[in-house]
Structure 1
Amino acid sequence: MSSPHIAVYGATGHTGRLVSAELRARGREIILSGRDAGALKALSDELGGARVHHATIDDPAALRELAGQADVLIHCAGPFTHTGRPVATAAAEGGCHYVDHALEQHHTKWMFDTLQEPARQAGITMVTAMSFYGGTGDLLAGAVAEGLTGIDRVITAYSVSDWRLTTGAKQTAELLFADTRRITYTDGEQHVGYVEPRNAVFPFPPPLGPRTMIAPVPFSEVVTVPRHVRTRHVEAQLTAHTFEDEQAFTSEHVDAATRAGSRFTVAAQVITADGGRAGQVSGQDLWRLSALASVEAAVRIADGHGPERPGVYGPAEAIAPGPFLRDLERLGLFTLTLPGKAEA
């Protein structure tokens, strides 16, 4: 029996290269795909030879052909506002398992609203929002909330320093913060409409301590967390200083070593009438965390260790979040702190 093939769409971007290199280091059969045939060939040569499949976003036949060749497809090419639907649709039509790095709320909602039944009929698992932003918070929320009842609110908070955006990430950020139809989750319901941003203070534990935050930020937790945590409110927050660093938006062409210098702490606070509890991860290089999280998810699915039933899932729905975070910690991606039972 041949080894499962894992396709990487957007393989020549920063995240795609990290994903491709990790898969090759694990001895996996990979297919490199994207819009630039020359860059794909060059990456294949760097990795010692890998299959290449040229496919642009506006070529559904080529995308469908890619899905037909692969067992799992990891989608790394943002902004997902533009690229998400064509690639995810091709995966569903081609009967190919799928993992994406989207943090965009509307793409995540569209995945659940539109592709749930096609995924079930095709017998495939589709995991959306397995990204640093959105995905890390979702996993932490699931791990921290385990066993709790009467949850009033879940807050995910991101402290990020020295973030150097890629071209795709810059375009994504610009689209997100210009969006006036943001999704929120309040009073046990999802809402869509204009949201007035505010400053908040999140109580990160020492040594970081309390930080001024932008709240809410339009990340995917408002769509994914209520699917596995019964709560009345979900909100994501981001440190105000993250975008005060001018280099964040002027560093599209820095080298990989510089881009790896980002430092982060992500926390999830689950609040109940009795107080609640929190957990967090702290580490360096958010890009590597995002890449390896998607690799871990894709490998599990390829090896038959995904969800029992086909369909569309968020990160913490698809994989038990506490053990998954522990596995990522063992890869040296961060230091993890979880409360009580969730640490087991």
Structure 2
Amino acid sequence: MSYRIAVPGAAGHTGRFVIAELERRGVTPVACDRTTDLDTALRDADAVVNCAGPFAATADPVITAAIRAGIPYLDVTAEIEVVTSTFDRYAGAPVPIVPAAGFFGGLGDLLATAVAFPGTERLTIAYALSGWRPTPGTRATGRVSAERRGGLRPVHSGGKLQYRDGAQPRTEFAFTIGTHPVVAEFTMADSATIPTHLDIPDIDTYMTTNAVDDLHAADPSGPAAVDAHGRSAQTFHIEVIASGGGKQRRIVYAGRDIYAITAPLVVGAALLILAGEGATNGPASLGARFTLDALVGPGRRQ
């Protein structure tokens, strides 16, 4: 069966990767921009993948249009508040809803689900990026999120998101690839997706300092493509550690280009849902619906 999947934000950096991934898999993309009438675009679509940030402005209208059309909704937001509000507002919705089905939010969730065990008390999620030249969309969503928080920063502690002031601590983290300087309490969307289905009181998060410094640098140029697929030379390395009761398990996953890998994650999830797998109605994260192997292949477990 040939599917049609609508893509708001199709002209953006991540949207272009999603369009290419849909075409590679024989799916017809329905490219949408901010002038597109959603009800018209979604009328003949089988699902919608929202790539239009800031998602604080786009998630609700696209979700409600997907509900009216009776089709699954997925997005690639990394905005923590959007993830939490989506779970709150659309509980019981009559269609599958998958927020944060990208690198930040989805991949960490899948890794945590793969490594967690009964009695896990703490998750540690550590990101090492070779560099980070953020897209204009990433910069825009970051500004929106910061404004919504009033300058505070979220941390998942004691079984809930808490908001703290002051600068994020800087320390070092012993990755399996070596010890690197990191920014601690670098909380991303996986700290909002994971607690929706895993009962783990504390989530510690780290990002290598070089990536954080790049994120806040003034250079507006964004990722530079170095291959025919539009991928940058950026590499990433993620380690997720589950611990509790004197037990510890670790999983490691590495790859290239955090924006490019979002496309197979969200497109793969959409196609699995359309095939009837992980198709439970209402909001549920990638980790709640699928295994790591089903979407991107196994990580290295230790």
Q: TM-score surpassing 0.5?
A: yes
Partner of residue 306 from structure 1, selected from 272, 275, 278: 278
2:133/2:222 contact within 8 Å kept: no
Partner of residue 178 from structure 2, selected from 209, 212, 218: 209
**Which whole-Å CA distance do the structure 2 matches of 1:278 and 1:265 have between them?**
13
**Which whole-Å CA distance do the structure 1 matches of 2:262 and 2:215 have between them?**
23
Cross-structure match for 1:3 = 2
Listed as ranges, the gaps of 5+ residues in structure 1 are 36-53, 56-61, 330-335, 340-344
Residue 178 of structure 2 is aligned to residue 188 of structure 1: no
**Which whole-Å CA distance do the structure 1 matches of 2:123 and 2:215 have between them?**
31
**Which whole-Å CA distance do the structure 2 matches of 1:220 and 1:253 have between them?**
21
Q: Any residues of structure 2 matched to 1:91-106 within 5 Å, and which?
A: 91-106=66-81
1:104/1:218 contact within 8 Å kept: no
**Which whole-Å CA distance do the structure 2 matches of 1:31 and 1:20 have between them?**
9
Listed as ranges, the gaps of 5+ residues in structure 2 are none
**Which whole-Å CA distance do the structure 1 matches of 2:89 and 2:73 have between them?**
15
Cross-structure match for 1:221 = 190
**How big is the shift at 1:197?**
1.8
Cross-structure match for 1:108 = 83
Residue 60 of structure 2 is aligned to residue 85 of structure 1: yes
Cross-structure match for 2:133 = 164
Distance 1:302 1:80, change over 3 A: same
**Which whole-Å CA distance do the structure 2 matches of 1:248 and 1:181 have between them?**
20
Instruction: Report the AA paired with residue 191 of structure 2.
Output: V
Cross-structure match for 2:124 = 155
Higher relative contact order, structure no. (Cα contacts within 8 Å, ≥ 6 residues apart): 2
**Which whole-Å CA distance do the structure 1 matches of 2:202 and 2:223 have between them?**
38
1:163/1:261 contact within 8 Å kept: no
Instruction: Report the AA paired with residue 274 of structure 2.
Output: A
**How big is the shift at 1:133?**
1.7
2:134/2:223 contact within 8 Å kept: no
Name the structure where helix makes up a greater proportion of residues.
1
Residue 99 of structure 2 is aligned to residue 128 of structure 1: yes
Q: Structure 1 residues 188-197 or 163-172, which shifts more?
A: 188-197
Cross-structure match for 1:23 = 22
SS of aligned partner of 1:286: coil
Instruction: Report the AA paired with residue 212 of structure 2.
Output: F
SS of aligned partner of 2:121: strand
Q: TM-score, with normalisation over the residues of structure 2?
A: 0.89
Cross-structure match for 1:289 = 261
**How big is the shift at 1:80?**
1.4
SS of aligned partner of 2:91: helix
**How big is the shift at 1:181?**
4.5
**What does the per-residue CA deviation read over 1:301-344, in whole Å, with 9 as the maximum and x for residues that have no partner?**
1222233x311011101212344331xx6xxxxxx3124xxxxx
**Which whole-Å CA distance do the structure 2 matches of 1:161 and 1:248 have between them?**
15
Percent identity between the two aligned chains:
30
- Aligned length in residues: 297
Cross-structure match for 1:44 = none
**Which whole-Å CA distance do the structure 2 matches of 1:291 and 1:162 have between them?**
20
Distance 1:167 1:93, change over 3 A: same
Q: Structure 1 residues 245-254 or 235-244, which shifts more?
A: 245-254
Cross-structure match for 1:38 = none
**How big is the shift at 1:278?**
0.8
Cross-structure match for 2:289 = 318
Instruction: Report the AA paired with residue 238 of structure 1.
Output: M
**What does the per-residue CA deviation read over 1:59-97, in whole Å, with 9 as the maximum and x for residues that have no partner?**
xxx223323221110111112123222222222232220
SS of aligned partner of 1:256: coil
Q: TM-score, with normalisation over the residues of structure 1?
A: 0.79
**What does the per-residue CA deviation read over 1:270-329, in whole Å, with 9 as the maximum and x for residues that have no partner?**
11121311111112111111111111111111222233x311011101212344331xx6
**How big is the shift at 1:252?**
3.0
**Which whole-Å CA distance do the structure 1 matches of 2:153 and 2:268 have between them?**
30
2:133/2:214 contact within 8 Å kept: no
**Which whole-Å CA distance do the structure 2 matches of 1:34 and 1:233 have between them?**
39
Cross-structure match for 2:39 = 64
RMSD: 2.3
Partner of residue 141 from structure 1, selected from 112, 124, 128: 112
Cross-structure match for 1:198 = 169
Instruction: Report the AA paired with residue 126 of structure 1.
Output: I
Instruction: Report the AA paired with residue 129 of structure 1.
Output: A
2:91/2:283 contact within 8 Å kept: yes
